[in-house]
Amino acid sequence: MRIAYSAARTIVEHAAARSPREACGLLAGKGALISLALPVANAAAMPEQEFALAPDEQLRGLKEIDERGLDWLGVYHSHPVSPPIPSQSDRSGAVDSALLQLIVSLENPKPRLKLWRIDGATVLPLELDFAGAPSTDDAGELTSNQRLGMLAAGLLSVLALLAMAMALLPPTP
């Protein structure tokens, strides 16, 4: 799978704004490209530890995805202080294995994005690459450039994390 820079930036900025609570939202696009991330309020009872898409905002988001002619590809959420690895709550909450699960971790100064498919007890890490160039709107904006630098560095760590995550995962029954 690939994700557009603009969508990745939306996710990282949303996660940073909500920390120490978890941020969540919808992923949309076509085929193997995630081109849009739509923030949704976290309606979980303990938003520091888990997430639940607010139903009304989720419906509004799904409508917007439809209006833009895109497909609903998955869900993203943040882990403010832990690695981007699905928690027990994430596993039990992922009821539709057709939906991708993206987790952004703010555990380290460099945000890390990790993509998963959760199918029952099976948690599968997926490859995630960045697509396209940074938007020209960001030229000259130091803060945006810095964020993009962080994202690029985060991408490099994804490969290392992939190996680490697989080692950390318990064997599936």
Residue ranges that bind Zn ion, judged by CB under 5 A: 87, 90
Cα 172 to chain centroid distance, Å, stands at 23
Residue 68 Cβ vs Zn ion, minimum distance, rounded to whole Å: 27
Residue 131 Cβ vs Zn ion, minimum distance, rounded to whole Å: 24
- Among residues 116, 36, 32, 115, the alpha carbon closest in space to that of 70 is found at 36
Q: Which is nearer to Zn ion, 10 or 87 (CB)?
A: 87
Q: The tokens of 33 are what?
A: 């490209």
Q: Nearest residue to Zn ion, using CB? A: 90
Residue 22 annotated as catalytic: yes
Q: The tokens of 105 are what?
A: 């971790």
Residue 49 Cβ vs Zn ion, minimum distance, rounded to whole Å: 8
DSSP 8-state assignment for residue 84: S
- State how far the Cα of 27 lies from the Cα of 70, in Å rounded to an integer: 10
Cα 81 to chain centroid distance, Å, stands at 15
**Catalytic one of 13, 22, 64, 127:** 22
Q: Which is nearer to Zn ion, 4 or 123 (CB)?
A: 123
Q: Which is nearer to Zn ion, 81 or 152 (CB)?
A: 81
Give 121's contacts (C-beta < 8 A, 6+ positions apart): 91, 172, 173
Question: Hey, which residues are catalytic here?
Answer: 22
